[in-house]
Structure 1
Amino acid sequence: MIALWIAFALLLVPALWLLVLPLRRAGAVARALADDEASERTERQNVAVYRRRLASLEAARDRGEIDAARFDEDRLELERSLLDDTAASTRSPLKAPRAGRWLVPVTMVALVVASASWYRWEGAEGDLALYRLQQQVMADPEASLPRLLERLEAEAARQPDNPNVWRSLFPLYRDSGRLERADHALTRLLALEERSPWLLAELAQLRYFAAGRELTPNVQALVDEALAADPAQPTVLGMLGIEAFESADYETAIDRWRRAIAGMNDAESAEALRQGIRTAQRRLGQTPEAVEGPGLRVRVSLAPELAGRLGADTAVFVVARDAAGELPPLAVARTTLGALPATLTLDDGDAMAPKARLSQVDEARLVARVSASGQADPQPGDLLGRHAAVAVGEHDGDPVELIIDRIVE
């Protein structure tokens, strides 16, 4: 902040110099005015006019054009006119050049005080302090999330009416799982700013997940308020799509997710909803929407010696992983044991996370597991098949043979 106030002081210097400038010129102006008054050019001109007109009257009298009475009357009128002109040109005495100089320092002080007061009232001193705090934490080699939260919370105590402080705290609270504090930060934002649809949607979504994905009356009230202001609010539509999906209302979920995608600017969130749409389409028995990009065609089959161990409706998970095993599953497809042998296509539409997709790698390992429990995690008694890393390419190649031929111990 010291550098900022120094910059303000440097900007005020020219303004103060302009205020002093008239004083520097006051002496020269006073001398010029005094010389003008001393010269009495106006009075001399008025007297010269009077004399010319009087001479004209005398000449007219001498020629007999006017009589003595008329001459006296016109001369009296000229004399009155000269007196009037002389009286009108009388000036008040000039003041000394130093008169009123006390107003200049008073004006200078008023200018500085007014400028500083205006900035403290209308300026962004609090935001600058917040920015400086964030930069200091980022530059600190021992910086951590708790350290940043501690500094931001101290700043929130210092300037509780600055919405940018709460806007910075909210995502940190949310991403660290501190839902109650995230709720408080959003509530403060709503109190400090207008109840915008975006803030209402964020608060509704936060409370929806905090309530265990339950559309409570409080959440529903926030949803109704947000949709009343913006019927296409994407966060609310995405949340309502999740609610419909978990209620097995897949058609409604697809409709809401498509409307949410239309209003989204976040590519990762939009892709996550597209993945949800494809999953809902599979649940409805529909062909999922096509996805551009490389993928794998896999023909999954069960070894004859394992036939009959589990029921035909047992879930089968087909998973593609990166060769190094450093990323989450790149693609996951699901079918049933009774549908084997089956040829499946794995691509980015089967990704579990936007940042882990088949299109990111050149090779992928394949795992097929028949889950007796129906759970995604391996359990003893599950049937398993593996395939070494294969090249990820176009969908129209020959399928990779993946045989389920062992039992999980």
Structure 2
Amino acid sequence: MFWIVSLLLMFVAVLFVVVPIIQHARQQQGADGSGQHHRDSANLMIFEERLAELDAELAAGALDANQHQSLKAELQRSLLTDIKTGETSADRLKQGHPASTLTSANWLQPSRLVPVVIIVLMLPLSYYLYGIWGFERDLQIADVFERSRDNQGSPEEIRDLIFELGAVIEEDRENGWAWYYLARHLVSLGQIDEAARAFERASALVENTRDRSVILGQYAQAAYISAGQQITPEVQAIIDQAQRLNPAEQSVLQLLGADAFINEDYQGALTYWQQLLGMSPGEEDRQFLNQMIAEAQARMEAAGVATEVIEGPRLEISLSLGPDLDLAPDTRVFLSARNLQETGPPLAAKALTVGDLPAVVTLSNADAVGPFNLSSADEVTVVATVSLSGSADVQSGDFQARSPTLSLADEGPVRLQMLIADPLP
């Protein structure tokens, strides 16, 4: 399709050059025939006017008979010369010379020859330069990526895509998205160890913080399965990386919920799954989460543990930026509630952007990102950080606001206002 469209566009471009040249040539040929007739008529009129003037001068005595006769003969010779030249051109037109001699001469003029040569060279030269500077390979890669997004083909189709992605990687080993889609296809075929290595490579190459957090979340899942469904120090390090970029990364929450369920920490599993439900997943995922929540509650009831979900404390933060801050709308903002010791992951956290502010943000047990939530603490500190790097890791130059110590003992939501204005040293 690309080549067909490009040829059609090239044809239209050629018409823009050729049609005016042909029209001009036809007009010029027409002008040669009719122009000669007008020139002959003009010469005859001039001859008659000049002859009348000579006759008038003879009658007035300004010329004698010999002078009159000599001037009249000269005037007749001039008229015959002009008419003979015109007849020669007309004879050449009648004999077919315009299609050969005259027209060929016209086409050999630089003003016409140069556009014709450009037209002849334009097509091969354009495709040659496109092969050097064009994005044909990128279009092929985009097609592979588009087919990879579905990831629902047969094993044979998935293997074909793996070979195509392998060819892309052979040409460009720094293509993070090729590594990512390769990893997803390897997971589909059950090659988890190989997928984990591909996810690791992709996470190191993709720079966008949000995309990188998604890749790290899936990398953590693959590493978790490779480790025999154990959160080893290596798996925990991957989880920490993902949560520093996005505290509520869904793949990580899915992993933590599944691990809590396997280890019979049903309340912990409920916390993660309820948080996932609050993220408005698709209908199929929502049904699965509701089934798992019901299963966890049933096991808690069988063990004699209360199954009601405790709402727990709520923090309502009115968050805004200082009037002197001029930051890009997509700059990331991290809001977290921490215990006073500030050890381990936050008790609750959310990620926003500068474009979302000002806003009223609510933190609750549903926003837990680790094994502990707001209900596990009596006092907390709320920290709001504008991260210029896009990571939750605080760095010099980021802007931050920190609340005083807040007590969670009282019933009802805790409300506070926070203004982010001061840069970190």
Q: TM-score under structure 2 normalisation? A: 0.43
Q: Which has the higher helix share?
A: 2
